[in-house]
């Protein structure tokens, strides 16, 4: 069942070229990434830290990928795990990059978020537990899953298809 408990999951998207034969989607063979707060602060910019580690949100229409149409794979900016592909990215005109599904089952995890007086589903990187954004359903976009993964650009790093495998 889906995270919204009312629809079956869509089949996982095929791994992009260059993915490991075992299906791993990150640099550490799907091993959890564990770092201290001090390590994260040292490795990330202040804005990356605020969004990825403190569940912040970048302002709409300000991130580098909200209107990008480059073919490639979107990795977690904190740990490099492959999370989404351009095949599932769509124009939602909401001001953040939007995807209708993650790259594969298990690359992201979900948390029920009741902050700010709203009922939402938070999306986190399954490998390093970094905040990515939120997922919404039933908004009428006509995507195969009827879901919109609304992801902060600062949480992602786009690896263009031309650069894959190098």
Active site residue 150: yes
Query: Residues 158, 65: contact at Cβ < 8 Å?
Result: yes
Query: Residues 116, 106: contact at Cβ < 8 Å?
Result: no
Secondary element (H or E) of residue 106: none
Whole-angstrom CA distances from 27 to 19, 22, 82 are 10, 13, 9
Active-site residue identified among 76, 79, 125, 150: 150
Residues 6+ apart with CB under 8 A from 46: none
Alpha helices in the chain (DSSP H): 37-43, 46-52
Q: Which two tokens stand for residue 46?
A: 């202040």
Q: 59: buried, middle or exposed (CB in 10 Å: 19+, 13-18, 0-12)?
A: exposed
Active site residues: 150
């Amino acid at each position: 069942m889906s995270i919204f408990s009312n629809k079956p999951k869509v089949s996982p998207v095929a791994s992009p070229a260059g993915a490991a034969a075992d299906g791993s989607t990150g640099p550490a063979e799907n091993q959890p990434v564990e770092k201290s707060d001090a390590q994260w602060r040292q490795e990330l910019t202040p804005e990356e830290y605020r969004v990825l580690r403190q569940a912040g949100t970048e302002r709409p229409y300000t991130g580098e990928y909200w209107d990008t149409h480059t073919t490639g794979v979107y990795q977690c900016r904190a740990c490099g795990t492959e999370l989404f592909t351009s095949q599932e990215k769509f124009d939602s005109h909401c001001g953040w990059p939007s995807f209708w599904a993650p790259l594969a089952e298990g690359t992201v995890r979900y948390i029920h978020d009741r902050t700010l007086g709203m009922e939402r589903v938070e999306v986190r990187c399954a490998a390093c537990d970094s905040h990515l954004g939120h997922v919404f359903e039933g908004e009428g976009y006509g995507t195969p899953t009827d879901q919109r993964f609304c992801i902060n650009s600062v949480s992602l790093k786009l690896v263009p298809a031309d650069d894959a495998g190098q």
